[in-house]
Structure formats: structure tokens, C-alpha cells
Amino acid sequence: VLKASLRAKELIRQILAISRSTEEQQRIPIDISSIIKEALKLLRSSLPSSIEMRQKIRKSVALADPTQIHQVLMNLCTNAAHAMGDKGILEVRLSPVDLSESDLAGQAIFNLKPGAYLRLTVSDTGSGIDAKTMERIFDPYFTTKEVGKGSGLGLAVINGIVKRHEGAITVQSVPGKGTTFSIYFPRLDSRPEATMQVEDPPQRGSERILLVDDEPALMEMATSILERLGYKVTGQTDSVTALEVFRSSPDEFDLVITDYTMPNLTGMDLAKEVRRIRPDIRIMLCTGFSEKITPDHMKELGVGLLMKPYGMREISEAIRKTLDARKGGCFGEGNQKGPDCR
């Protein structure tokens, strides 16, 4: 469940990255076969058991973003499963291929240079794709599925990912018989370096925190994380009440952590009010995504920024950064300055 949630977080990041057309990817030398196998295990449990799954996976290393490769396979297999309904054969193969000048000669769609590649193929025995549909399958938002069933983004996302990996896609389909998608990625013949990542334990602290999030489940989760790290936490789900709590005893807190989007009093408004009461108070804003707030913007306002969803590591690091910052204590409004402002 945790793995799936983290992948979902990555998926959203990916969609945002595409729509903002910035390239956010982490390409590392990896053995693609391990990602494919993991994804297939996940798929097996979600596909009807009347769909037979076959796999022929050879170890193949590429310079790739693991999350994106996972996503390519999930999107292809989901399409294949949809095309088959509840009966058919889904076959996934991964193998190294060497493409020579003459292999590529007749293939106009291959914009590839001759060289070492790995080929990922996903075949189904489903409905197939007719010529007219074929012309549009990679278009964003093109779908033949009914409203609510498909967004038409699956293949568009795959196309973007494959392009950024300097790869190529081909499709063969016979209407009524089935479809095969083949994806080529440049291969690395050296082994991936075994990178051991030893993570430091999360940073602890004992400061007093006023935590505000209008979502009770999130407020409770963050409270329990912070208490485990040693902090003394007062949790609030209503920002107006939170402000009253702060107003009645402003010196009881070292840090205010607040959600950004909240009814009545937003996180930004709460931050401003709290600063008016105590100019030197440290503040951290949490947000999922907003065009309006950027890390630079936050710096200017002298408040810390924490992107949602966060885990223990992210929140503990953000807290230490905000609390230990020497110059971050000023809120750029009027002449009010905290003691740490020089």
C-alpha cells in the first residue's frame, strides 16, 4: 500500500511536470527487469484471473527513471486489459536487441540511431485498433472509452516518457485479434553500480508546535509523527480557533505549521496574523500544489515550505530547516522584524 501510494504521488508529479512542460526526471542506471517484474505482480492482483499473464523478462540495464518505466508498463497493460475485457492473454517481454543500420532502414517511424537497445513489448489478444483510431491514439485526451472510463492520457504520457528517454514506440494491431506495443530504450551494457544508500535517522527536536490542518486525518497523522520525534504538539483543525489559541498564549509556541488551503482563514492569512502577534515566530506552510506559492516566494516571506504529501523524513527536515534558519525569521511586511533579522 505504501509503495502504491508513493507511486501515486510520483504519478501526480509526473502529470504536473508534463502539463508544466518542465522536465523532472531522475535517470539512473537500473535493471529494468526488476521494475517490470514488480509491476506485473501488482497487476496480477488487479486483473481478472481469466486473463492469462505470460512473461519473458531478460535482465536489461538502461539509464532510466524507475517511476516512469513503471508507469509506461502499467499504462500499456491497463490498455491491454481494457481491450480484452475479462478474457485473453497478456504477454510482456523484455529483451536486449541490437539495431543495425539495415534493421532501421525500412522503419520510417524509428527515429533511432543504430545501437544497443532493450525492447519492452506488451501484447494482448483484445479488440485491436482500426486504422482510423490508430492515427490518434497518442493524442492527449483521445479516448474511445466512455466518459468516466478513460482520460485519454495513458499513451500521451508514455509517448512523452519514451521521448525523454531517447527511445521509440511501435504498434502493430489486427482488429479483432489483438495489439502489440513495442518500446525501445537505449541499453547500457555495464552493470548498474550498487549504490548503498544509508539514510540518517530523522532529526528530532523538543520545541512546541501549533499544528493546523482542516483535514482531521492529516492533523492527527502529523501530530503523531511529530510527537514521535519528540515535539510538543497542539493540533487544531480550525484556523480561526488556532489563531485564538495562539493569541491567548503566543509564547507557548516555537513554531506554527499550517496547511495552506483552509476555509475562513487561509494558511497565508493565519501566518500573517500570527506574525503580527509575534514577529519572531517561525512558520511553516504546507501545500499540495499551487501556482501561487514557490520556494522563492516563501523565502521572501520568511516562512518555510513543506510540500504535501510528506512523510516523517520530509517534515522532520523541513522543521529543522525552519527552526534552525538564522536569517529566515523575517516576514517581509512593513518594518516588523524578528530578532533574527539583520
Nearer to ligand ATP, 153 or 240 (CB): 153
Q: Is 93 in the site for ligand ATP (CB under 6 A)?
A: no
Q: Is 11 in the site for ligand ATP (CB under 6 A)?
A: no
What are 94's strand-pairing partners? 57, 120
CB of 9 to ligand ATP, least distance (A): 18
Distance CA 150, CA 54 (A): 25
Q: Is 35 in the site for ligand ATP (CB under 6 A)?
A: no
CB of 36 to ligand ATP, least distance (A): 17
Distance CA 164, CA 194 (A): 24
Nearer to ligand ATP, 11 or 245 (CB): 11
The answer to whether the peptide bond before residue 140 is cis (omega within 30 degrees of 0) is no
Query: From residue 73 to residue 92, what is the string marking binding to ligand ATP with x (rule CB under 6 A)?
Result: --x---xx--x---------
- Residue 127, Cα to own-chain centre: how many angstroms? 32
- The C-alpha angle with vertex 124 and arms to 121 and 125, in degrees rounded to 5, equals 150
Query: From residue 57 to residue 86, what is the string marking binding to Mg ion with x (rule CB under 5 A)?
Result: ----------------------x-------
> Cell 493540533 maps to which residue?
235
Nearer to Mg ion, 76 or 255 (CB): 76
Query: From residue 56 to residue 75, what is the string marking binding to ligand ATP with x (rule CB under 6 A)?
Result: -------------------x
Q: Decide if 51 contacts 84 (C-beta within 8 A).
A: yes
What are 52's strand-pairing partners? 89
AA letter at 136 = R
CB of 69 to ligand ATP, least distance (A): 16
Q: For ligand ATP, how many residues bind (rule: CB under 6 A)?
A: 22
If DSSP states are collapsed to H, E and C, what string results for 233-262? EEEECCHHHHHHHHHHCHHHCCEEEEECCC
Q: Decide if 140 contacts 113 (C-beta within 8 A).
A: no
124 touches which of Mg ion, ligand ATP, none (CB within 5 to 8 A by kind)?
ligand ATP
Q: Is 328 in the site for Mg ion (CB under 5 A)?
A: no
Residues that bind Mg ion in the complex, under the rule CB under 5 A: 79, 154
